[in-house]
Amino acid sequence: MIRVVVVDDEPMVCAHLRTILGSADDIEVVGQAGDGAEAVESVVRMRPRVVLMDLRMPGVDGIAAIRRITALADPPVVVALTTFDDDTHVVRALSAGAIGFLVKTTPAEDLVNLVRVAADGHTVMSPVAARRLLGASAGDRVRAEGARARVRGLSVRERELLGCLGEGMSNASIAARLFLSESTVKSYVSRMLAKLDCENRTQAGLLAHEAGVAAPPPP
């Protein structure tokens, strides 16, 4: 079972998410919290695999909670819950350690599948929010120049891998595209994240778009 904690200061949103996720045979919502402090306590107590985290909450907000949760020993993966006007908050959430982000209005079937993907450690992004965020990043010349400077020291193979992360590809898919073993891909990705000072694959994927080494998301 994929154990999930849902965090949002709106009880109706939590109830909605619990209903959707509870309909899946392989997902169990084991905790609910209304602010960041409660979220950390729930994670420590319930040991979930996935946390769905609202970002704007009173008291301890979602970004502070993400930092605390990802600093725990054997932390769960955290997925930010966002709205269309949350671009800045999403970037901060990813910098804090979130593995991806979903729009709160994500259709039920997609939400269930994306939670499964996140539980396996893969990047998850709502396509509409991803296009908006990446479009904003691409239009920021300072960010683009900084990103290009960061990737300049990568080898050709590492740049190829970074581009694959920008497309949200899994290790298995990258291995098939580049004719490598999955273990080799894992080693490459780990070294590349350290070189780029990225905490996770999602941060590296966004960097790939900012640096212009990844294909844009499909419309």
Confidence (pTM): 0.71
Give Cα separations from 85 to 21, 103, 121, 132, 168 (angstroms): 25, 10, 26, 10, 23
pLDDT(95) > 70: yes
Residue 141 confidence (pLDDT): 67
Give Cα separations from 124 to 10, 146, 152, 153 (angstroms): 23, 24, 26, 27
The mean pLDDT value for 196-215 works out to 80
pLDDT(104) > 60: yes
Residue 30 confidence (pLDDT): 96
pLDDT(83) > 70: yes
Give Cα separations from 214 to 75, 165, 204 (angstroms): 29, 8, 11
